[in-house]
Structure 1
Amino acid sequence: MSHPRPVLGLFAGIAAGLIASAAMAAFQSVAAKPLGQDGGDDDPATVKAADKVAIATTGDRIPDAYRPQAGQAVHYLTGAALGGLYGVLTEYRPQAASGFGSLYGIATSALLDETVVPATGLGSPPWETSAATHAYGALAHLVFGVSLEGARSLLGGRQG
């Protein structure tokens, strides 16, 4: 095994996380309607998270005109953070890239959609969420994971 390069892994992972977030957003925009995800009347979890930060720091909610952009900022910041973590992780444990990032993608779905989002009140508990929504989230995170590994392996110069 070659020597780990944590700094390169971190920065390649952050950049790859941004790329993977864009791929995930593109998938969601194309797949939402065919997979029965109309968005409903409720704000996405990313917008709710941005609102929580805004209220905690300024005392005010995100203005309606900026809510979509605030949600996108949370989406991309989360992707960059998950990518940075993945980049460092794969430097020390190349097997973390198993399935060309698909396992990491599914793990992010389980961690975020099924655990963190409901636990923080940003979404419904898993048992109150439709099977179609679970599948849509898992597929979107699968796209994230595979895109993350593809970009990371190109940017970092090493395949997991």
Structure 2
Amino acid sequence: MKTNGTIAADLAKGAAAGAAATWVMDRVDWFMVEHEDPEAWRQTQKVRPNGKDPAHNIMGAMAEAVGREPPDQPHPAGVAIHYALAMSSTALYGAARRHVPGGMVGRGLVLGLGMFAIEDELINPALGFAAPPRRYPWQAHARGLVAHLVLGLVTEAILSAVDSRSRPLRRGASRPQRRA
């Protein structure tokens, strides 16, 4: 049975891996935006509530709740919400991943697909932070799916690497020496 210390450590590792993976995901996403049909990007921008991504719409709702004007996108608080949402999901994943079947690639793909389907396609539209999925061009869905699969794979790769570094050595085994 896991102790609270181990669960807390798994949550922290999942969140940290998710922060790094979110940075990578964003670079992949922007690369795809820069190489997709410009009309698809215009259509995506046109249907977004307030012309903003979901994290900035969440930030706007929070600002309005305390009597403030929602700031423009991009805004550091919107970016922070984007990271916080990803890190909260990957933190939970970090604690639960040992119970997810499959190897590193399979678990990473499950994480990415789950985040895409649940957050992008269900929760954000249901709460009004994104438009209904059918209003977006297919390229937006494809880009979101690929970006989230990258997030899942990078998160799992980092966690697997941390696991391999922290695993006790078998008797008589030695770690490879680092090269100078």
Counterpart for residue 20 of structure 2: 19
- Of 139, 147, 151, which aligns to 2:154? 147
Question: Separation in 2 of the partners of 1:17 and 1:142?
Answer: 12
Cα pair 2:112 2:148 within 8 Å, conserved: yes
* Unpaired segments ≥5 residues, structure 2: 168-180
Structure showing greater radius of gyration is: 2
- Deviation of the 1:52 alpha carbon: 0.9
Distance 1:144 1:80, change over 3 A: same
How much is the aligned-residue C-alpha RMSD, in angstroms?
Answer: 2.2
Alignment of 1:1-160 (within 5 A): 4=2, 5-36=6-37, 37-38=41-42, 40=45, 42-56=51-65, 58-64=66-72, 67-91=74-98, 93-95=99-101, 99-157=106-164
Question: Separation in 2 of the partners of 1:26 and 1:156?
Answer: 26
Cα pair 2:105 2:156 within 8 Å, conserved: no
Question: Separation in 2 of the partners of 1:94 and 1:120?
Answer: 28
Question: Separation in 1 of the partners of 2:7 and 2:153?
Answer: 21
Size of the aligned set, in residue pairs, is 154
**Identity of paired residues, percent?**
27
What amino acid is aligned across from residue 27 of structure 1 in structure 2? V
Question: Separation in 2 of the partners of 1:76 and 1:50?
Answer: 12
* Unpaired segments ≥5 residues, structure 1: none
TM-score, structure 1 length as denominator?
0.85
Question: Separation in 2 of the partners of 1:130 and 1:12?
Answer: 35
